[in-house]
Amino acid sequence: MSSVPSEAATKVERSSLTDTCASGTGPCDEALARAFQFLGKRWNGIILGTLANGTSGFAELRRNVGGIADSVLAERLNELHEAALIIRSVDPGPPVAVSYALSPTGTALVPALQALGAWATSNLPPS
C-alpha cells in the first residue's frame, strides 16, 4: 500500500475525516475514520458495491448505480482510482472503451460491504 502514490493526501480537505475520532480501542478509531474518508462521501459505497458485481464501463455503471450525476460519477471514479481502490482500463478501440474494476484493495472491502448489506436486510425497514 505504501507503494501507491496517494495524491489524495496532497489535497487538503476541510474537516478531514481522518482527523476525527478519539483514539480508542473501539470501532471508531483512526482506521474507521480512514474507511469513511471514502465511504462517507455520497455514492462511493454504492459504486464499490456495484463494481463488486464485475467490471463495468462508465455508462453501464451509471445505469447500475442509478440516480448519480455524470459529473459526480466521473469525480468519484477518479478519486477511487487515485486511491487505488479501483482499476481503470482503456481499450484503445476504435471505439475507445474504458472499463472500471475493483482493485485488490477494493476487493478486500467486499466482505465488509456484504456485512453491511446483511445488517440492513435484518435491521432496516424496506423503503
Partner DNA sequence: AGCAGTAACTTTTTTTTTCAAAGCGACTTG
Partner DNA sequence: CAAGTCGCTTTGAAAAAAAAAGTTACTGCT
Q: If you search the block for the grid coordinates 455503471, which residue do you land on? A: 61
Q: Which of 87, 98, 101, 113 binds its own copies (CB under 8 A)?
A: 113
CB nearer DNA, residue 63 or residue 118: 63
| Residue 15 CB coordination number (10 Å) | 6
Task: Return d(Cα 9, Cα 11) in angstroms, integer.
Answer: 5
My answer on whether omega of the bond before 95 falls inside 30° of 0, hence cis, is yes
Tell me whether residue 98 is exposed, middle or buried, using C-beta atoms within 10 angstroms of its C-beta: 0 to 12, 13 to 18, 19 or more: middle
CB nearer DNA, residue 72 or residue 84: 72
36 binds DNA (CB under 7 A): no
Sheet holding 86-91, edge to edge: 56-57, 97-102, 86-91
Pairing of strands 97-102, 56-57: antiparallel
74 binds its own copies (CB under 8 A): no
55 binds its own copies (CB under 8 A): no
Partner that binds at residue 53, options DNA, its own copies, none, CB closer than 5 to 8 Å by kind: its own copies
Site map for DNA, 77-106, x if CB under 7 A? xx---------x----xxxxxxx-------
Smallest gap, in angstroms, from Cβ of residue 95 to its own copies?
Answer: 24
- Interface contacts to its own copies, rule CB under 8 A: 1-2, 4, 6, 9, 15-22, 24, 26-37, 39-46, 48-54, 63-69, 83, 105, 108-127
